Structure 1
């Protein structure tokens, strides 16, 4: 089985390194990390991914706005989007789902358990949506 290809959109260098290290080392996933929504759009023009993991707070827009821009039609996204946030999920959930976010992961203290939860959510959405990356 080919390693799932994940696009990580995370502006925090610490968090980005933590996610990449944990998912590549412990869960055999292939990650591409960018810091902004704009960089992610550029990356998506020439690359295919199985899942996009996006932080809620980005320098140029929110993760929800980014998801909405990829999913303007209001239908299910062609690539599942997981929102990674340190904020309370309840106030964000409805708007996030309306904009095409598939799943949510709370990033707490960056413990190994948080990375296991993220890996599980990635595997779950790939099982539901299938793999599309070539």
Structure 2
């Protein structure tokens, strides 16, 4: 089976490099990165070949929940699982995130280091549950 292709949205160069490199080298994902929600929408509208969107909660011009909701409502973007990657406490975000179409949550503090096995597993489960 070919690797899952994911779009990772984060405005931190360090985090983007670390996450994409680890997901590719340790877990076999094909990762494309963008820094803004606008770039994510544009990339997704131009390519139907992604299996999942992973977005940081905090982005430059809007947050990850706003991005998820806009993708959920956008007819030109394929319906994809959406994984929210956040350093914020998850509890206050859950209801709004589910309403926005978020499939899974991953805490940056717990899962953005090392081999990121939990993070990779959540992405795979979101993709497989969606398909």
Same fold (TM over 0.5): yes
3-state SS of 1:108 partner:
helix
Quote the residue 2:55 is aligned against: 54
| In 2: Cα distance, 1:117 partner to 1:36 partner | 25
| In 2: Cα distance, 1:119 partner to 1:87 partner | 19
Quote the residue 1:6 is aligned against: 6
| In 2: Cα distance, 1:68 partner to 1:45 partner | 15
Quote the residue 2:85 is aligned against: 84
| In 1: Cα distance, 2:89 partner to 2:34 partner | 24
TM-score w.r.t. structure 1 length?
A: 0.89
TM-score w.r.t. structure 2 length?
A: 0.91
3-state SS of 2:53 partner:
strand
In structure 1, stretches of 5+ residues that fail to align are none
Taking the TM superposition and a 5 Å limit, the aligned residue runs for 1:54-73 are 54-72=55-73
Cα RMSD over matched residues? Answer: 1.5
Runs of 4+ in 1 over 4 A off after TM superposition: none
Quote the residue 1:95 is aligned against: 96
Taking the TM superposition and a 5 Å limit, the aligned residue runs for 1:12-27 are 12-27=12-27
Is 1:40 the equivalent of 2:40? yes
Quote the residue 1:129 is aligned against: 130
